[in-house]
């Protein structure tokens, strides 16, 4: 491994078709921001890049829905997202856009090089084309009947009913999800990247961290779920993947290439290259147009991608292949992907509006940016999914931020003002004071400083290991240490009996406050500035500010020197009243009921169509869960004249106990079908609301079993 001289850090490009929510922060942006801020504070050379991903079909679809143009959509969200990042204290060296001219050029040049190197294979295939919408359809945008189980709503890539993997052309009676029309097959030619060709170097790179026979990185520093997913892909066999698409909105395939009309670059080719074009733009703005090269092409640079887990294979397999195939680029040293953050027990969902939007948070709860950051870091889904709840948000604020760190700082500042009129007292290095570990145990000033430096080292290790939760805990541990120091030395008592001791203790306390300002800066940048304000010191230098604190402490120098005048105390954090939290919970719950979407009325059915169906009243007399199926219950329904076994997809909403004895309506003449090995003889009628929640359609209680519904 080569020695690191500089860092190139990227955060996943947010897709410009919606605002940012807390899940985005937790996944890719906060961890990167902490990492970058810390490295800088320690004097490292870092470039931190991000930008809006503005290409692809989803944006054109969104534009159509809103009756506007794709350009207006991306302009709107690029602006909103960029502002949101600033407000929450996340600062990129460059926040760029993939709709920019520079990006188009950069990604096209990349494509040209790969093409010239002979990395692509051109292949023609038949794909479904929606004549009405005038576009080729991605697999997910085609539905039809599954050829294996006759399920009528199978997707073009798989059937959710029987789980088989499909290709769109296998579907019986395919329909476009865009227009509902029957798509037609048209032949289309694309440039494919035969990924299997690269397995030879990719596997040792991922599994052993070796590249070209040399050590590239330590694989056990990669997260287990990242390695797991990569291996799963390798073991499954890499396949050729189309690097171009038939789209209307995106980066054109270089026009001079034959057959390029109407073709755009594949999103996962174009988007990661956005990191590179953003760095180029940064370099231009620095006045050194070539400065980007050393970050992307020099072996002494450490490339790190912060992403969410849904992007793992693109950053660990596809993009590295592209970089290596190009030939001039370095590969990532790590891809610390985070898992997902859930919200109040549900998966965060943009489309269902189940989210905390960051721009709304900043408006609703002004001045609480760092509280959000703190809570998100404390609960960061580093190894597994985690949970955001407003109640625990409040609790973390009240007991940890207010009770621990703000309280400690307030105690020191208050005491200094009270006893010394705000002038930092002198120290006596040799004076015995109680240490901060245990009551009635002697210690001295230097030992306490050493203890603080140990915590600083731990923070360093944790951050470099992408363990931000534990790093944050160490910050809090320093505050704990300060609280104990005061407790065990009781300056409020000793001020009368041992005034010299109090001077030394408070001088030490102020150094701890100064250190807290430094170590909290990567996590709580706004708070760090406030602490500096309390100490009557300028904001810490973003470059090297913490390194110089460390140096001073190691040299035995004070970071808040004797004789310096500090400011009056002020609360760093405040308790959050219940009503504020309740209002947020209410706001969230309101999204569950507001704006229901209604299915359009289906095409007209004749009376005959209706009478073909035989609906009967019945009662559920037995119910059990079907193993290995998350949605299915096996029900036994009493129809009076006979009993039926019915497999029903309601397990997400009802337990077997709850449905026992339930009176229901059954479609009794539905063709029997096997589901998970159980034959289902009919279908229990359910109503489904806008959130997909199911409810029984039942006769009046005690109506009786077996009667016809009409």
| Residues 48-107 contacting RNA, CB under 7 A | 56-58
Assess contact for 431 and 457: CB atoms under 8 A: no
Question: Running DSSP on this structure, what letter comes out for residue 695?
Answer: E
Which residue in the set 71, 492, 582, 655 belongs to the binding site for RNA (CB under 7 A)?
Answer: 492
Rama region for 640: left / alpha / beta (φ>0; ψ in -120 to 50; rest): left
Q: Is 473 in the site for RNA (CB under 7 A)?
A: yes
CA distance 678 to 629: 12
Which residue in the set 69, 115, 158, 539 belongs to the binding site for RNA (CB under 7 A)?
Answer: 158
C-beta of 175 vs 550, nearer to RNA: 175
Q: Is 320 in the site for RNA (CB under 7 A)?
A: no
Which residue in the set 484, 494, 662, 673 belongs to the binding site for RNA (CB under 7 A)?
Answer: 484
C-beta of 110 vs 388, nearer to RNA: 388
| Three-point CA angle 48, 333, 218, nearest 5° | 145
Q: Comparing C-alpha atoms, which of 232, 231, 236 is closest to residue 203?
A: 231
Which residue in the set 2, 185, 186, 228 belongs to the binding site for RNA (CB under 7 A)?
Answer: 228
Residues contacting RNA: total by CB under 7 A: 89
* Beta-bridge partner residues of 57: none
Q: How far is the CB of 58 from RNA (least distance, A)?
A: 6
Which residue in the set 105, 115, 210, 229 belongs to the binding site for RNA (CB under 7 A)?
Answer: 229
Q: How far is the CB of 174 from RNA (least distance, A)?
A: 16
C-beta of 31 vs 522, nearer to RNA: 31
Q: Is 180 in the site for RNA (CB under 7 A)?
A: no
Q: How far is the CB of 669 from RNA (least distance, A)?
A: 29
Which residue in the set 404, 536, 567, 645 belongs to the binding site for RNA (CB under 7 A)?
Answer: 404
Region near RNA per CB under 7 A, out of 185-193, 397-405, 557-565, 698-706: 397-405
CA distance 587 to 19: 17
C-beta of 159 vs 560, nearer to RNA: 159
Interacting positions 513-572 with RNA (CB under 7 A): 571-572
Region near RNA per CB under 7 A, out of 121-129, 403-411, 528-536, 638-646: 403-411
Helix, strand counts (H, E) of the chain: 24, 30
Interacting positions 267-306 with RNA (CB under 7 A): 267-268
* Owner of token pair 């290095």: 429
Interacting positions 6-25 with RNA (CB under 7 A): 12, 14-15, 18, 23-24
If you compute the radius of gyration of the chain from its CA atoms, what whole number of angstroms results?
31
Q: Is 384 in the site for RNA (CB under 7 A)?
A: yes
In sequence order, what are the residues at sequence separation of 6 or more whose Cβ sits closer than 8 angstroms to the Cβ of residue 518?
41, 528, 540, 545, 546, 549, 559
Assess contact for 315 and 41: CB atoms under 8 A: no
Q: Is 612 in the site for RNA (CB under 7 A)?
A: no
Q: Is 693 in the site for RNA (CB under 7 A)?
A: no
Which residue in the set 251, 406, 463, 566 belongs to the binding site for RNA (CB under 7 A)?
Answer: 406
Q: Is 308 in the site for RNA (CB under 7 A)?
A: yes
**Residue 30 burial (C-beta neighbours within 10 Å; 0-12, 13-18, 19+):** buried
Which residue in the set 269, 402, 478, 513 belongs to the binding site for RNA (CB under 7 A)?
Answer: 402
CA distance 340 to 304: 19
Which residue in the set 69, 169, 574, 643 belongs to the binding site for RNA (CB under 7 A)?
Answer: 574
The DSSP result for 570-636, as a single string, is --SS-PPPHHHHHHHHHHHHHHHHSS---PPPPSP--HHHHHTS-EEEEEEEEEEEPTT-SS-EEEE
Q: Is 332 in the site for RNA (CB under 7 A)?
A: no
């Amino acid at each position: 491994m080569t020695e690191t001289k500089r860092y190139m850090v990227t955060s996943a490009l947010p897709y410009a078709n919606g605002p940012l929510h807390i899940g985005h922060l937790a996944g890719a942006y906060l961890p990167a921001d902490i990492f970058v801020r810390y490295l800088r504070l320690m004097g490292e050379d870092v470039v931190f890049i991000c930008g809006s991903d503005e290409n692809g079909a989803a944006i054109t679809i969104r534009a159509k829905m809103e009756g506007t143009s794709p350009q207006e959509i991306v302009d709107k969200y690029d602006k909103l997202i960029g502002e949101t990042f600033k407000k929450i204290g996340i600062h990129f060296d460059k926040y760029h856009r993939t709709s920019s001219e520079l990006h188009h050029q950069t990604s096209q040049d990349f494509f040209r090089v790969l093409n010239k190197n002979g990395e692509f294979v051109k292949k023609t295939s038949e794909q479904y084309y929606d004549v009405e919408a005038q576009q080729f359809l991605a697999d997910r945008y085609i539905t039809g009947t599954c050829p294996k189980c006759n399920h009528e709503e199978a997707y073009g890539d798989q059937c959710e009913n029987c789980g088989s993997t499909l290709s769109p052309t296998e579907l019986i009676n395919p329909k476009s999800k865009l227009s509902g029309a029957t798509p037609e097959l048209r032949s289309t030619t694309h440039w494919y990247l035969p990924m299997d060709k690269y397995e030879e170097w990719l596997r040792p790179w991922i599994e052993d961290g070796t590249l070209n026979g040399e050590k590239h990185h330590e694989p056990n520093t990669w997260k287990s779920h990242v390695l797991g997913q990569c291996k799963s892909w390798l073991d499954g066999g890499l396949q050729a993947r189309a690097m171009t698409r038939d789209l209307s909105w995106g980066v054109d395939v270089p026009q001079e290439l034959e057959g390029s009309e109407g073709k755009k670059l594949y999103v996962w080719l174009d988007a990661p290259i956005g990191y590179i074009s953003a760095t180029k733009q940064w370099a231009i703005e620095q006045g050194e147009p070539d400065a980007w090269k050393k970050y992307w092409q020099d072996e002494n640079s450490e490339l790190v991608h912060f992403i969410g887990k849904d992007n793992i294979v693109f950053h660990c397999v596809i993009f590295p292949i592209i970089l290596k195939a190009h030939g001039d680029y370095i590969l990532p040293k790590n891809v610390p992907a985070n898992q997902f953050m859930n919200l109040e027990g549900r998966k965060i969902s943009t489309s269902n509006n189940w989210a905390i939007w960051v721009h709304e948070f900043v408006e609703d709860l002004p001045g609480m940016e760092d509280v959000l950051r703190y809570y998100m870091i404390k609960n960061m889904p580093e190894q597994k999914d985690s949970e955001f709840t407003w109640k625990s948000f409040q609790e973390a604020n009240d007991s940890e931020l207010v009770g621990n760190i703000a309280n400690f700082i307030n105690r020191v500042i208050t005491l200094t003002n009270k006893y010394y009129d705000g002038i930092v007292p002198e120290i006596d290095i040799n004076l015995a004071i109680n240490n901060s570990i245990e009551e009635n145990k002697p210690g001295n000033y230097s030992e306490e400083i050493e203890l603080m430096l140990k915590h600083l080292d731990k923070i360093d290790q944790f951050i470099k290991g992408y363990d931000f939760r534990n790093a944050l805990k160490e910050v809090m541990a320093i505050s704990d240490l300060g609280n104990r120091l005061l407790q065990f030395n009781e300056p409020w008592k000793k001020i009368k009996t041992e005034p010299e001791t109090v001077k030394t203790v408070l001088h030490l306390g102020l150094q701890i406050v100064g250190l807290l300002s430094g170590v909290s800066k990567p996590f709580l940048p706004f708070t760090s500035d406030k602490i500096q304000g309390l100490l009557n010191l300028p904001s810490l230098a973003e470059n090297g500010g913490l390194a110089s604190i460390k140096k001073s402490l190691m040299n035995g120098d004070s970071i808040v020197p004797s004789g310096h005048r500090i400011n009056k105390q002020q609360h760093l954090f405040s308790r959050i009243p219940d009503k504020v939290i309740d209002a947020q919970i209410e706001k969230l719950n309101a999204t569950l009921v507001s704006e229901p979407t209604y299915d359009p009325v289906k095409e007209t059915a004749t009376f005959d169509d209706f009478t073909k169906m035989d609906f009967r009243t019945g009662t559920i007399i037995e119910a059990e869960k079907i193993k290995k199926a998350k949605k299915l219950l096996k029900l036994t329904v009493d129809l009076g004249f006979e009993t039926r076994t019915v497999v029903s997809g309601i397990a997400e909403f009802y337990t077997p106990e709850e449905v026992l004895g339930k009176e229901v309506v059954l479609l009794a003449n539905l063709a029997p079908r096997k589901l998970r090995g159980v034959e289902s003889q009919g279908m229990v009628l359910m109503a489904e609301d806008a959130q997909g929640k199911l409810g029984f359609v039942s006769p009046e209680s005690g109506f009786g079993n077996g009667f016809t519904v009409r």
